[in-house]
Chains A and B, each alone.
Chain A
Amino acid sequence: MIKFENIGLRYGVGPEVLRDVHFTLAPGSFHFLSGPSGAGKTSLMRLLYLGIQPTRGEMQMFAQNAQQLDRHKKAFLRQKIGVVFQDFRLLQHLSAFDNVALPLRIQGQKEKDIRKNVEELLKWVGLGDHMNRLPHTLSGGQQQRIAIARAVVTKPRLLLADEPTGNLDDEIGYKLMILFEQLNKTGTTIVIATHNEQMMERFRHPRLVLEDGELSVEDAIYATQTKKILDGVY
């Protein structure tokens, strides 16, 4: 379970970008994180993948107080989290295969197992023929699929994705959402930050809505109804 209580975040001496953020993510849940640009989505994602520390409040991650963990335990905790970054953050000197294999190597898995799992996953995301290609020789969509494969290869307990379908056409985006759904069914908690209303409509999951640094939680039906009201359907 992930629990944020009265979380506040400010960078340096600037204003608070997140204020009194309070929510709970049950194990195996699936949430969209939405809100206008600059509302603090990326900051909240960074908090979730332990990239930054909140300036106040309490963060419980998998029954541990994330703020009180030492460096070693924090590293171990991060191994349970898969992240798809908006800008992919692939290592450009490594092949598609090695980029995806990286989290498994960090976890110290055997090279034989790594090869089997990574090859299987890359084939599954349609990059079986591009395993040895360097990221910069691949298209944006292909790079995004590598980033996604890297995030899911360890079968993480929490998957965070920042605009994961942003560079993909509708069909591939839909297929990737199916991949996330399948992963979710195996027990992985998923949070997807997105602006894509169409996608949120299609895959009905509760939404964490950030607006001006404050968070509200809407269930899927409520969110859909609100949207329809705003769109003038009712």
Chain B
Amino acid sequence: MSIEYANLCSVVVKQVFGETVQIVADCLFCAVSRTLPAILKTTKLSRKEVSLALAVLIKYQLVVFIPCESNPFLAEYSLKREEIFNILRYPGYVQLIHTKYGAVGAAIAEELLHGGPQTATNVLLKCIASSEVKEKVDTYRDNFLTMVSDNYLIRLPQLITGEEETIPKFQIDAYQYFVPPDINLHFIAQVQAGKENVEKAADAGIFWQLNFSRFHQDFRDAVMIGAIEKKLGASTGECFKYILKQMYERTDPWQKECSNPFTLAEIKQLIEKKSNNLDLIKHLDQYVTLIADDPLCFIRKVGDMGGGQYVVDLNRAFEELTLAWFGHVITERYGSKASRIFRIIYMKKFIEQEELQKEAMIPAREAKLLSYYLFQDQFIQIKTIRKAGGGGTGPAKAFFLFHFKPRQSVRMVLNVCYKALYNTIERSNFEKSEHKRLIEKSQKLDSIVATMKERGESAEYIDEILETLTPPEREILEKVKSRLKTLSKAEITLDSSIFLLQMYLFHTKVPTTLSNKDKKLM
């Protein structure tokens, strides 16, 4: 966890939950866990404020608590750092659900994100009440159950009732995560009519939330399929999509380095059943060989059983993708000659300055300049090999070799991404506060006009009110809106870069000389 990551999480919390919660979150970020009195002392807020802030964070599953080791009646609170970062991905999750399950699914997902984890009955009631998407209750229920069975929704551990504990305890078994809840439509109708209390529902106490790792799995698949499609064509991309589907039959989605094997026969079966692509079906084995032989090394042949046994090599896949990513970034930052130098360095593993110039066919001066820029910004590293001094006279001769240490560079550039994301959020807050008066004025005007329209006021009257916003003000407002839109879009595209780098750190082998604490997703 770097300082850039901490700053980023801090502004995210402030944007969503306000400054008080931000202060408490910052306090928790600096420590593994803290007790309430410790938080009070550090933040100097009132007890009421801190308790409310903690309650909010716990409600949205951003903070967990466990009893203190020394005192089982005192709770220690710790922050779930990855979950805070995931807030940035909420729009992406909803968008994915929208593509898969339509507006109904999106409404369910939105409700879970707006209100935090809830029971199924509660969610459905709220969705119907919001009345933006007019559908029947059973459509909502069916959608909910489909999302559970597809693992997009996951059960939270349940409260162990019975004993009056100061610090509640939760428990869930692995098989219970996706057991569908008991949704009684009749009961829901009763609650809507006001005849029943929602707390008496059959599935009370069973809380659901979005299963982030399932979404991340889909994002990861999209990255890989997109890469294959761009490099090798649409049919090959489709072929890889089915390969991944087959892979999930027998492999845990988050298995680190490579998947369990699957055979060509299985892929063939799957594709013949599901695909409409004649070209793909005709040349299936060729497409698979194409992917297997490609330097991207997404899949690897491991045997001949069933027409050819393959594994998906996630380690190599993300290595290659990250290298391509670096190539692009370096091209944009320093020019195409610099990315040529970068590729030579990582292809040759270790190379000296002079040899580099010769291979790159770049004027010596330019080659030196670019390679030192890359070194200064830590995209590449220098390894020094010292020779024993020439017979004791003169300084020891040393060889300076350029090489590429991927994990180190990835971590460096990931921090740059975090900082960039922080910058976009800060800048959009700045833009909003600079033009706060104008934005508020236009918002008020819009709401006034809306109520006036509801009351049926005359059009002239409405126009008169609208004219309170002068044309130059309108212009400025438009400009501000477009700026905010650009910044918002930048956040989304930045996250796609961050995701790729995080996947790299997760899936690739850690070199044996480093300590194992690097393995966790940052």
Asked if A and B bind, the verdict is no
Interface residues of A (CB under 8 A from B): none
Which B residues are closer than 8 A to A by beta carbons? none
